[in-house]
Structure 1
Amino acid sequence: MSKKPSKSQLIATKTIYATLQLLKDNDGEMRGKEVVDHLRENLEFNDYEKHIYEKTGYVRWESVLHFYTIDAMKAGFLRKNKGTWIITSEGEKVIEENSPEEIYNLISKGYKKWEAANKKEKKELQELDEDEELEVNFTQQQKSIIDQVEADASSGIRDYIINKNPYEFQDLVGALLEAMGYHVSSIAERGPDGGIDIIAYTDPLGTKQPRIIVQVKHKPESAISSDEIQKLSGTLKRNSDVGIFVTSGRFSKPSRRESLMSREHIELIDFDRFVELWQEYYPKMDDDKKSLLPLHPVYFLGTN
């Protein structure tokens, strides 16, 4: 006789399935916060599932979801990159061929297989108190909490950038390029810019190649199209010109293909990569530049 699933397992079953299906229906990836917001609005949760943990302040079903996304990642169905959740090809296949319960079982088996291969402590899924169940594996619990904190931090940074106007976001890009060691010769003023927002060089006088042509789009809720990449390519007049496209949103798959196939080198920087670069070069900025997007580092206990 099979063991009756625990309440946490039931939560994981419906939220993980809904997550994979949502990602599959949205070009394969979404920000973690957007996933959680969508599930909150479209799934039904009872009072037990909506309970808020006193220790962390997090909602039970959200904590369960974050906890089991780690299993889904180890099973090979999900990836995470700087706050973005990405369904893998294996994840797309499993969502087409299996029920929510079968997917939960496959994820559990996949995690155990990874766990055995990496000689980690076994995660005991025996009959436990519901609040204890998610604390069985300390390492995974830590990762789950950090995952939620990072999602909150990413959301705060994203909201701050979204509230910038297009010219303020353009200034952020200019400040980042300078911190990276480039010399910004011009930043477009208000009005038509002919597809060129920033021109930068690798030396102060602009005598060395390449000339860097930067297109900046403040479109946080949109995906950049392949046509927009082609337009940037058309502005690269010199053979040595390099293009950089920076967006506060994301790039569609066709736009990424277009940049790879372009005769000219076109570098793509989406929101996540922009924040990653800002964090990396933040220590090299002066206080005026830092104030454009101020950050505060926080350190957590790591894992071996």
Structure 2
Amino acid sequence: MPKSKSQQIAEKTIFAAFKILKNNGGEMRGKDVIDKIRETVTFDEYESHRLEKTGNIRWESILRFFTIDSMKAGFLRKNKGTWILTSEGENAIKLGPEKLLETATELYRQWNGNRKKEVIEEDIVEEDFTIENTNQAQEAILNSYEEDAFNGIRNFIINKNPYEFQDLVAELLRAMGYFISEVAQRGPDGGIDIIAFTDPLGTKQPRIIVQVKHRPNDNVSSDEVQKLAGTLKRNTDVGIFVTSGTFSKPAVKEARESREHIELIDFNRLTSLWQEYYSKMSDEQKNLLPLHPIYFLGSNE
């Protein structure tokens, strides 16, 4: 039986996504993976056609749909807009484009078990593509919306200058119930950007020393975590390192094994905390990173 055009597109885009993830340490933002595929894979007019009903590019829609198969197969994970290649996914690259997709689809069907299947024509890829499970289509769409939302938040934060980002961190700590004693002004800060306490006068322990780095496209190194540890002069001091980017694996190991208590907050954790404490913020605080919740029908799966 000849392959559908959508099957062919899925094979080459999923395989390309896996290779890109592997070559970049196994973890990238979904948007960056798609941008990289656009740069490195050639698409014909049919594949790059913008669909009238959704406004999406055909190959991108097909890729996003089949990432659900890959996730249920254990080859891929997604976390707040970030795509993560598992060790099983890395091994699956050896199968080649056709066998990789075939295996992921079969494992998805096994996961799906004996659930009732409904075959419908799917708007996102039109003529030659059918979906056996409407929940799969829904999940692909929700994943896409979630990625778009996090990309919007990330771009908003990227456009802040370092002092605006520092203020955002300080206001988050206030919303969490901490009392801010000091926020560094422009100029050398000695590795300390914010000092906070658990009471208004700072008479209770611990004293919280906060280092803030606004580097959305970089990893914080282990050396930088060590430097934060060096600013903790009191035995009861606690260090918090906040970045708009991520932490390198050595940095995470350094914080975990440090004699001092050092808490790491990367972009994903920062946005999660902002969402968690958003309802407790004043309007002025909310304006530093305004959010608007939208609810979609979910699934019990």
The alignment partner of 1:19 has SS state of helix
Q: How much identity, in percent, do the aligned residues show?
A: 62
Structure 2 equivalent of residue 61 of structure 1: 59
Normalised to the residue count of structure 1, the TM-score between the two structures is 0.93
Matches within 5 A, 1:34-113: 34-95=32-93, 97-113=94-110
Q: What whole-Å deviation, never above 9, does each CA across 1:215-262 have from its counterpart, x for those lacking one? A: 100001111111111111111111111111111111111111111111
Q: How many residues align?
A: 297
The alignment partner of 1:296 has SS state of coil
d(CA) in 1 for partners of 2:138 and 2:39? 27
Range 143-152 or range 187-196, more displaced: 143-152
Q: Which runs of 5+ in 2 are unaligned?
A: none
Displacement of 1:207 in angstroms is 1.5
Displacement of 1:55 in angstroms is 2.6
Matches within 5 A, 1:210-229: 210-229=206-225
Q: What whole-Å deviation, never above 9, does each CA across 1:4-40 have from its counterpart, x for those lacking one? A: 2211111111111111111111111011111111111
d(CA) in 2 for partners of 1:213 and 1:155? 29
The alignment partner of 1:98 has SS state of helix
Displacement of 1:203 in angstroms is 1.3
Q: Which runs of 5+ in 1 are unaligned?
A: none
Structure 2 equivalent of residue 120 of structure 1: 115
d(CA) in 2 for partners of 1:273 and 1:111? 30
d(CA) in 1 for partners of 2:247 and 2:5? 39
Normalised to the residue count of structure 2, the TM-score between the two structures is 0.94
d(CA) in 1 for partners of 2:49 and 2:19? 25
d(CA) in 2 for partners of 1:110 and 1:82? 24
Structure 2 equivalent of residue 171 of structure 1: 167
Displacement of 1:189 in angstroms is 0.5
**Cα 1:233/1:121, change in 2 over 3 Å:** farther
Amino acid at match of 1:113: Q
Matched-pair contact (CA < 8 Å) for 1:196–1:214: yes
d(CA) in 2 for partners of 1:37 and 1:102? 24
d(CA) in 2 for partners of 1:134 and 1:240? 61
Amino acid at match of 2:91: K
RMSD: 1.8
Task: Please tell me whether residue 288 in structure 1 is matched to residue 281 in structure 2.
Answer: no
Match of 1:267 among 263, 267, 271: 263
**Cα 1:286/1:7, change in 2 over 3 Å:** same
